[in-house]
Amino acid sequence: MNAWKAKIHLVSKEFFQYSLTTYLLLLLAETLKEGFVSYFFNLNILLGIVIISGIVMAIMQTRMLEENPPKKMTSADLEYSLLLAIGGGMLVYYKTKELGNIALLIAVLTAFIILLLSFLILLDGEEK
C-alpha cells in the first residue's frame, strides 16, 4: 500500500507541475495579447485541472512527509525564492502600472510578501 501512495504522489506532483507551468505560460500569452489563447481554449478548464491536481498532490505530500522528513534550506532555495519574488513583483507592476506611482509601491510590497511566504514555507520543517 505504501508503494501506491508513493506512486500517486509522484504522478500527481509531476502532473501538477506541468499543468501549472502550462497554465501560467498560456495566461502570460493571454495577458500580452488578448484573445491569443481564449479564442481557442478556455483557461478555466486548465485552472480546474491545476487546482484538482494540486489538492491531490498536497494530500499525498502530507502523508509522504510523515515518512520522510524535509531537507534543510539551501542557497539554491534562497535564490529561487528571490527570483520568484522579483518575478511576481514585476508581474504585479505590469498589471497595475495604470495606477501611477502607487503601482510601484504595490509591486514592492507584493515581492516582499512573496519572499516572506517563501521563507516561511522553507523554514517550516527545520524547527522540529
Task: List, for residues 65-109, the tens digit of each pLDDT value.
Answer: 555 556 677 888 889 889 989 998 998 898 899 988 999 999 999
Does residue 22 surpass a pLDDT of 70? yes
pLDDT of residue 126: 56
Side-chain-side CA neighbours of 54 within 13 Å: the count stands at 11
Q: What is this structure's pTM?
A: 0.56
Tell me which residue of 58, 39, 40, 60 sits closest to 50, measured CA to CA.
Answer: 58
Does residue 53 surpass a pLDDT of 80? yes
User: What's CA 92's distance to the chain center, in Å?
Assistant: 15
